[in-house]
Chain A
Amino acid sequence: GAGVSQSPSNKVTEKGKDVELRCDPISGHTALYWYRQSLGQGLEFLIYFQGNSAPDKSGLPSDRFSAERTGGSVSTLTIQRTQQEDSAVYLCASSISGYEQYFGPGTRLTVT
């Protein structure tokens, strides 16, 4: 399958630890998005990459969150000093057009 893949699928971490989430977009898709899905809150936009351009970080909830995209392909989302409110499903999507986005299965993050 050539869909968006994410790893790990589940991550349990202790409060205060750093975590790194990975996203492999669909080959040829230049746009990559990260979202956060919390219970009862819907999907929250976090950050957007278009090719090798500098990302739009306007949706990142705090400076503990950062993301990078290497070679216009794989992306990692890093959360430093995790807090319990960071617990959520982190979804990655890729796109050619910008509005038709194709999602990965997500990483379920639990901060204890």
Chain B
Amino acid sequence: SQQGEEDPQALSIQEGENATMNCSYKTSINNLQWYRQNSGRGLVHLILIRSNEREKHSGRLRVTLDTSKKSSSLLITASRAADTASYFCATDEGGRGGSEKLVFGKGTKLTVNP
């Protein structure tokens, strides 16, 4: 079963614009992670935000987490054609706080047009 639900399912923007993807989930979590998957390649970990954090930055990525609304957003600033990929949120339901069981959403397919 999949807990995370990304929105939108697909997003098409021009190079240089910002891209925002949202993720909603259903149960309590220890942390939430975002992954990227390029066509034909495996998933790559982008960023992790813990349940007691509200915002985190990594390069052009900004992630927010609102545990009261059970939602997270991923913002990619100044997008590039190379950012074209599917983006997945994954919630960690591990009892020990470790990422033992990641539950992935269906993903947002981002296309950045040059």
Chains A and B come from one and the same complex: no
B residues neighboring A (CB under 8 Å): none
